[in-house]
């Protein structure tokens, strides 16, 4: 496993990490969740990603239970949570990025995860109804109290991230270290263009999500609907309708052929493609089966297969190169 500093921070994060969205406490049994974490940890993964909203808190409970039964040293792994969507409550202060919700969500996550502190704490989305200064002050204070070590954002615009940094600079507070954006072959603009300046200026780290676009980039939907998969799950029709479209499938069929030609599999090539981008600190993997994770955890080996020539072929197939500003 390779490790990389999370942005300009001193924290080393494994380039592949493991997430729990839609799997822990929902799609998979707790024994499989435990097997996935064991395999990941054995292979050098040091970051496990979670959020208050994942299975309405159940994902954190499952992860906490597993962690409490391992004899892994606390300094050998990183755990995150994210606040914004709440854990199921519908009252006005049970979501968002107010001081009240951030503090209460942090306490609730720590309890469910059975931890004394969170390594990473994210603002899961921007909150247009809370001043960014209130959020920055709260995150800074949570760090001062030892409840969290680093804080970051998820799906914030570059402008919002910079506003948080300006507040932090103004009052000498700790600003956001990392952003958690979607990044995969179909979803490129934010990571490749929008944030391009702030990697350099504030030293933004990225923990990217959905490297397989919810499984489509594994190639398993190439010949039609695959049963017992995320996109066949009840309640996730919105995700299926958004992603499982013929235009994407046509591209994945061509990419699958290319993966075979260069001697690898489609899921590994898709993840290696994300890792090839140096601004990706870590790619968060999702898995519903141990076999899937065994495969994707070796994706780092394939980065060297992605020569300039192969990258150009991928680019032609994808036909979605983001337009970059001329300066």
Of the candidates 164, 213, 165, 190, the one whose C-alpha atom is nearest the C-alpha of residue 280 is 190
Task: Kindly tell me which residue out of 55, 135, 177, 229 binds ligand NDP, with binding defined by CB under 6 A.
Answer: 229
Cβ proximity to ligand NDP: between 188 and 230 the closer is 230
For 283, phi then psi, to 5°, come to -100, 125
Q: Write down the residue that tokens 């006005």 correspond to.
A: 92
154 binds ligand NDP (CB under 6 A): yes
**For the chain, where are the E strands, in sequence order?**
3-5, 12-14, 16-19, 47-49, 78-83, 118-123, 148-153, 178-179, 205-208, 282-285
Task: Kindly tell me which residue out of 7, 19, 25, 126 binds ligand NDP, with binding defined by CB under 6 A.
Answer: 19
179 binds ligand NDP (CB under 6 A): no
240 binds ligand NDP (CB under 6 A): no
Nearest distance in Å: CB 174, ligand NDP: 21
Cβ proximity to ligand NDP: between 177 and 218 the closer is 218
**173: which DSSP letter?**
-
210 binds ligand NDP (CB under 6 A): yes
Our answer to whether residue 54 is catalytic in this structure is yes
DSSP code string of 267-324? HHHHHHHHHHSTT-SEEEE--SSHHHHHHHTTGGGGGGG--HHHHHHHHHHH--PPP-
Torsion angle defined by CA atoms of residues 74, 78, 84 and 85, in that order, rounded to the nearest 10 degrees: -90
By CB atoms closer than 10 A (0-12, 13-18, 19+), residue 261 is: exposed
Question: Which residue among 54, 122, 150, 195 is the active-site one?
Answer: 54
218 binds ligand NDP (CB under 6 A): yes
Cα–Cα dist 26/47, whole Å:
21
Task: Kindly tell me which residue out of 11, 102, 162, 212 binds ligand NDP, with binding defined by CB under 6 A.
Answer: 212
Cβ proximity to ligand NDP: between 102 and 213 the closer is 213
Nearest distance in Å: CB 144, ligand NDP: 25
In the stretch 271-290, what mask flags binding to ligand NDP with x, by CB under 6 A? -------------xxxxx--
20 binds ligand NDP (CB under 6 A): yes
Task: Kindly tell me which residue out of 15, 66, 292, 306 binds ligand NDP, with binding defined by CB under 6 A.
Answer: 292
Of the candidates 146, 153, 155, 67, the one whose C-alpha atom is nearest the C-alpha of residue 114 is 67
Cβ proximity to ligand NDP: between 96 and 215 the closer is 215
295 binds ligand NDP (CB under 6 A): yes
Evaluate whether 17 touches 285 at the Cβ level (below 8 Å). yes
211 binds ligand NDP (CB under 6 A): yes
* Residues at the interface with ligand NDP (CB under 6 A): 19-21, 23, 49, 154-155, 180, 209-215, 218, 220, 229-230, 267, 284-288, 292, 295-296
Known catalytic residues are 54
């Amino acid at each position: 496993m390779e490790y990389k500093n999370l942005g300009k921070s001193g924290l080393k994060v494994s380039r592949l990490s493991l997430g729990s969205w839609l799997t822990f406490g929902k799609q998979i049994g707790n024994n499989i969740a435990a097997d996935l974490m064991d395999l990941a940890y054995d292979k050098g993964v040091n970051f496990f990603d979670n959020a208050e909203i994942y299975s309405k808190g159940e994902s954190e409970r499952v992860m906490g239970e597993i962690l409490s039964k391992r004899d892994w040293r606390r300094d050998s792994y990183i755990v995150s949570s994210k606040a914004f969507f709440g854990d199921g409550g519908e009252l006005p202060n049970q979501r968002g990025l107010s001081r009240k919700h951030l503090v209460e969500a942090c306490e609730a996550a720590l309890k469910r995860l059975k931890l004394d502190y969170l390594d990473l704490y994210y603002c899961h989305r921007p909150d247009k109804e809370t001043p960014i200064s209130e959020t920055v002050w709260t995150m800074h204070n949570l760090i001062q109290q030892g409840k969290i070590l680093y804080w970051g954002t998820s799906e914030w615009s570059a402008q919002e991230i910079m506003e948080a940094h300006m507040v932090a600079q103004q009052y000498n507070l700790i600003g956001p270290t990392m952003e958690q954006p979607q990044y995969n072959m179909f979803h490129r603009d934010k990571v490749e263009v929008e944030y391009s300046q702030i990697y350099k200026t504030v030293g933004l780290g990225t923990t990217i999500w959905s490297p397989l676009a919810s499984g489509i980039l594994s190639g398993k939907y190439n010949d039609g609907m695959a049963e017992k998969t995320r996109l066949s799950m009840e309640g996730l029709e919105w995700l299926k309708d958004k992603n499982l479209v013929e235009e994407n499938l046509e591209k994945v069929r061509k990419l699958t052929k290319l993966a075979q030609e260069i001697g690898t599999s489609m899921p590994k090539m898709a993840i290696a493609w994300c890792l090839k981008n140096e601004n990706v600190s870590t790619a968060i993997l999702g898995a519903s089966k141990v076999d899937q994770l065994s495969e994707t955890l070796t994706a780092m080996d394939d980065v060297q297969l992605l020569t300039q020539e192969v990258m150009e072929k991928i680019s032609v197939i994808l036909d979605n190169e983001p337009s970059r500003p001329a300066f």
